[in-house]
A and B are shown apart, each in its own frame.
Chain A
Amino acid sequence: MSMIRNNRRHKLVAYSLILPFVAIFALVFAYPVIEVIRLSFTDAPLIGSGDWVGLDNYKRLLSDRLFYTSLKNNGYFVLLTVVPTTVIALLIALAVNRLSGRMQALALVLFFTPYVLPVSVVTQIWAWMLDFQFGILQPVLEFFTGKPVPVFKNPFWVMPAVAVVTIWWTNGFNVLLFIAGLRNIPEELYEAAKLDGATSRQLFFRVTWPLLWPVTALVLTLQLILQLKIFDQVYLLSEGGPFNSSYVLLLMVYREAFQLNNGGYAAAISLVLFLIIVVVSVLQFQILRIGGRDK
């Protein structure tokens, strides 16, 4: 009898402990998600409720050319950032790992500093450095291309330029993850391999790379999710232009909701983006895990 009561009390304590989390989760995540889903089937404005329109928003989305342009640009941006930033972060982490003591701390601080900056500061810095009339990087561009380039106004330059800014900004965090991963690899493995006469090339591909794979997979997945959500840098640097060559899905959500007051349509776009992110990231993580098992 007392056992049962004890058990019941046990459960009560457990529930009361998770209750605050569940309540907050329900309030700030579950409820908004359900609302977005409901909104996406209505013609609601930004504020207030609308009428049920069924699948109209989704039908409209599938015939909206801007949607496909944005989708393509999102994909292009992911290509430009995810793998490059992972490779760069790995290289930096390997180099920093060779340093020791104060020098290592200093190097880490240097690489991590941009990550601390707010996005508006980052974009201001780069907008000025690349400014068409006064930018200090324009002579560099002029050296390679023969003339100054209005990078955020040129359809070919705009996405790579935004990608460079993004990588510069967010790379520090990935470096940190890789450093943590590298420190987790036991020193004995390297010693044993060296005793067997392994070259430094073999050390990397036979020891470091496979043991670091879980971290690499994590970085790739985090980056994929993050870069699919690109908005701030594009909004602040190019506003989607020129002629939509940097228009991305979240910018479309913003314009529809806040500029054109189409809350329902904006909800439909954001829901589609949400589903794309879920599907792509789960798929990627699974593929990477399978890839990791072979090693």
Chain B
Amino acid sequence: MKFKTLAQVSAIAAITGLGLPAFAQQTVTWWDFFAGGDGVRMKGLIDQFNAEHDDIQIEATTLEWGVPFYTKIRTSAAVGRGPDLMTYHLSRMPLGLSEGVLTPITAEDLEAGGIAEGDFFAGALDSAKGPDGQLYAVPFDIHSIVLYYNKSYLEGTRFLDDDGNLTGISSVADFEEALAAAKENGAESPVTYATGDDGGVFRVFYTLLSQQGGTLISDAGEVLPGDSAEKAVKAVEIMTKWHDEGWQPEQALYEASVALFTSGKSAFQLNGVWEVPTMNDLAANGDLGFEWGAVEVPQLMDSQTTWADSHAWAIPVQGDETMDPEKRAAVMQVIGWMEKHAIQWADAGHIPAYKPVAESEEFKVMEPNATYSTLASKATYDPRSEVAGVASPAYDAAQNIISPAIHGYLSAEDAVAQMKGELEGRMK
């Protein structure tokens, strides 16, 4: 037995050509889905980790975000050909648990990584737990949509204060007044978001629904319970009005919607915090040509809340095998290290879920993160359901039903009824 292990280890060492010390060397296979500005920061973290550790090396692969990523995880984990460590959306947890691809993260695991449950924001930690209260993932960040603004279109309006910061938006009427003013000042699409894509439409819709106190899917599994359907109709109507008035781009796909803002054609952008590095980089290179800011999405309806999700770390099952304890400890060490260096990830716009970093002085002076980080405590996560979350039927419905509705192909009432029917059908 011992001989066999020895032979295996030396064989692996020989194959990977890493030489001595063969015993301690662990290779952690890592899969993520970060391809944008945040992907660059993640690669920086990985390189730094590899440089600092002789005994653990990360072999990272970036796969395509969404359904392709999660499909590959499920099929590869089931046959034991998956990664040792992967990034995971907490909104995806219910489906992940029903698929059985996630391994429980035990107290010993956390200890091996040098972290503890108490280090994390409660909201994120709860979302990382199964219904049994067992932890299945380690939260890494909290990300949300924020309101980016281009100051040049708002100059001379009541929406900039003396310091040049956005002010005076506390209702849909205020926001629409700002959009009209920006249009008058020459903005081609006063507010831009991915009106033709699943994520862009879903996040704005869900934020407007949540701000009215509406529920997409209740914990009991009811779709749009009570008067939530009416509130959903209201949300779709608001988005439709922005289209009818020419305030938002028509059928914009994600890249195009970002380009509208970065090229200075839009006064506002409703998009994820992950575009903050794009803006910072452009501004640093002097390619932006306008002053910008980003704030928590203002209270447009009855209450202050925003859609949010978390990236987390998870260890997939290895087919019928269990992971070698030494390797598992190495994986946890990677997770712990990443958490403690999350300040570099915050540079990608995200709010760290690890409190020692999120409450550090370094983070408090990081802009614009510090301005919008208040959203974390008031955020509304995706419904805890197998049909909600990233790459889910709820996202599909946003593209398939709500997007056509805001472009005038379907009435808001019909769209909401169809969405309800569709999600109920998928839940069977």
Contact = CB atoms under 8 A, between A and B. Distances in A.
Interface of A: 45-48, 60, 64-66, 132-133, 150, 153-155, 239-244, 255, 258-261
B400 A60 contact: no
Nearest to B252: A133
B251 interface: yes
12 contacts: A47-B79, A65-B425, A150-B407, A154-B409, A241-B399, A241-B400, A241-B404, A242-B400, A242-B404, A243-B401, A243-B418, A261-B74
B95 A261 contact: yes
Given A155-B404, A244-B400, A259 B418 contact: no
The 9 A-B residue pairs with the shortest CB-CB distance, nearest first, are: A242-B404, A47-B78, A241-B400, A150-B251, A258-B71, A243-B401, A132-B251, A153-B251, A243-B404
B400 A260 contact: no
What's the interface size class on B, roughly? 35 or more
A65 B386 CA distance: 20
B161 to A, nearest CB: 35
Given A239-B399, A243-B401, A261-B98, A64 B425 contact: yes
A150 B409 contact: no
B409 A46 contact: no
Given A47-B74, A48-B78, A240-B400, A259 B407 contact: no
B75 interface: yes
Contacts of B410: 243
B348 to A, nearest CB: 28
Contacts of A46: 74-75, 78
B94 to A, nearest CB: 12
A261 B400 CA distance: 20
Interface in B357-408: 386-387, 391-393, 396, 399-401, 403-404, 407
B162 to A, nearest CB: 38
A176 B33 CA distance: 44
Secondary structure of the A side of the interface?
loop
Given A47-B75, A133-B256, A243-B410, A150 B400 contact: no
Nearest to B319: A47
A60 B428 CA distance: 9
Nearest to A153: B251
Contacts of B67: 258-259
Nearest to B402: A243
Contacts of A66: 422, 425
B425 A153 contact: no
A259 B71 contact: yes
A226 B296 CA distance: 51
A48 B80 CA distance: 13
B71 A153 contact: no
Given A47-B75, A65-B421, A261-B74, 16 more contacts: A133-B256, A150-B196, A150-B250, A150-B251, A150-B407, A153-B251, A153-B403, A241-B399, A242-B400, A242-B403, A242-B404, A243-B400, A243-B401, A243-B410, A255-B393, A258-B71
Nearest to A244: B400
A155 B409 CA distance: 8
B426 interface: yes
Nearest to A66: B425
Contacts of B251: 132, 150, 153
Contacts of B74: 46-47, 261
A202 to B, nearest CB: 50
A45 B99 contact: yes
Given A47-B79, A132-B250, A260 B407 contact: no
Interface string B94-105: 010011000000
Given A243-B410, A258-B67, A259-B393, A153 B404 contact: yes
B426 to A, nearest CB: 6
A155 B400 CA distance: 10
A16 to B, nearest CB: 35
A261 B98 CA distance: 9
Nearest to A134: B256
Interface string B57-72: 0000000000100010
